[in-house]
Every structure is written in structure tokens, then in C-alpha cells.
Amino acid sequence: MDPRPSPHQSRFLDLALRCDALRFGDFLLKSGRESPYFFNAGQFNSGAALAGLAECYAEAVLARGLGFDMLFGPAYKGIPLATALAVALAARGRDLPVAFNRKEAKAHGEGGHLIGAPLSGRVLIVDDVITAGTAIRESAALIRAAGAIPAGVLVALDRQERGAQGERSAAREVEAALGLPVVAVATLDDLLAYAGDRPDLALHHGRLLAYRAAYGSRED
């Protein structure tokens, strides 16, 4: 594990704390686990916050060197995230098409499940987190059904937490099941390094370490 987060990871975690998207305390997760932290990308709810988040997404995926021709945002949280990333990439000279889906097909107007540019080429799926991987699997199926190719998955935070069925994290399970690279702006390891550098987060750092020891995946 790198002892220090990269500049874009530190900026992302700074922004998440300022926006209250990253909170420390006692949280009961859907899995039934009691977590010392919680991440909610819905708290990036202003133009400035989304712009800052999109810059972190852009730096993360460009640093990874993935090849992709367009962006896809799964409903619902993926929609503003993919849109904001498209704007950030356009400002860097990459004007890419973007599309997203509806939860339910529309029977009137343009109809169908998809909105935006037609799916084609290599498509990057943009979302907030991977929990069970259901939205990612559904997105990959939609992309393939349209004749396009899923190129990878970009998320804000990888909790690096093993699922109920095995030792791997949800991100690694998606990589294995779909054959897609998963890129995270930051991971639990990055959060641990970040909290370890900040005296004001010292108490939370110890609790994060304990949580990682109890529930951390074995392949991250």
C-alpha cells in the first residue's frame, strides 16, 4: 500500500469531507455490518462540488490509461457523475458522447431505456460505488445489447470490503465476472493513509484499521 494518497486522491477526500459525503461515526450498512464511516455521493450536490469531483474522476481514469470512446451513467447517481465527467474531459480537449439509462422504459416520446448518445465503441461505465455490482452488470448487458463494448468501470470509492459469499471485494468480483477493469478514485487503503496523516482523524484511523482487519477483502 502506498503510504500516501496521490494528489487527486487527497483532493477527493478533502472534498468528500467538506461536502459531508464522507462521514465518520457509527453506521449500520445494508450488509448488517457496523461501519465507522459512510460515503454518500449524493452530497456532492452543487455545481462547484460536482466540478471538483469530476476533476478527480478525470485524473483517476486518465492516470490508469484506459481506452474508451464514450461515457455511460447508470441511473440514478451515475447520471450526474457521467455528465460532470464529460464536461471535465471536454475541458481537457476530449469531447466524448455520454448516455444513461432509465430505471423503467418510456413508452412515449423517444421511448426506450436509453437517453443521450447512441451506445457505440468502447464505453466507460461511471458510478459512485460498487456494492453488490448489480447496476454494473445491468449496464454492461445494456451496452453489449446495443452492439458496443464495455471498456471499464470508474467509481469514486472502493470500500475494499469482502462480500458475504467470499474473500474478494465487490470490485474484484465485477472484474472477474465481467472481465472489466475497475478504477476507483480512492480506496479504503487511501482513506487509511489520509486519516493517518491527520491528527484530527486519529481516533477514526484506529477504528478504520479495526474495520479493515475484520471485513477487508483478501485480494486488494
In what helix (H) or strand (E) does residue 149 lie, and over which residues does it extend? strand 149-158
In a domain, residue 202? The reply is: yes
In a domain, residue 220? The reply is: no
At 12, which amino acid appears?
F
In a domain, residue 207? The reply is: yes
Of the residues 30, 77, 103, 106, only one is catalytic, namely 106
Domain membership of residue 120 as a residue range = 7-215
In angstroms, the CA 181 to CA 160 distance is: 15
**pLDDT attached to residue 131:** 79
Of the residues 77, 108, 204, 205, only one is catalytic, namely 108
Tens of pLDDT along the chain (220 residues)? 446 899 999 999 999 999 999 999 999 988 888 999 999 999 999 999 999 999 999 999 999 999 999 999 999 999 999 999 999 999 999 999 999 998 765 544 454 689 999 999 999 999 999 877 888 999 999 999 999 999 999 999 999 998 666 788 989 989 999 999 999 999 999 999 999 999 999 999 999 999 999 999 976 5
**pLDDT attached to residue 133:** 82
CATH number at residue 172: 3.40.50.2020
Which residue, 32, 41, 49, 47, is CA-closest to 186?
41
In a domain, residue 54? The reply is: yes
At 168, which amino acid appears?
R
Q: Which three cell numbers stand for residue 128?
A: 459512485
In a domain, residue 1? The reply is: no
**30 assigned to active site:** no
Structural domain tally of the chain? Answer: 1
In a domain, residue 152? The reply is: yes
* Signed CA dihedral, 173, 174, 179, 181: sign only: negative
In a domain, residue 118? The reply is: yes
In a domain, residue 2? The reply is: no
Q: What is the DSSP letter of 181?
A: -
At 97, which amino acid appears?
P
C-beta of residue 153 within 8 angstroms of C-beta of residue 183: yes
Strand partners of residue 126 = 154
Residues 13, 16, 19: CA angle, nearest 5 degrees: 150
**108 assigned to active site:** yes
Which residue, 140, 134, 128, 38, is CA-closest to 77?
128
In angstroms, the CA 102 to CA 116 distance is: 11
**pLDDT attached to residue 183:** 97
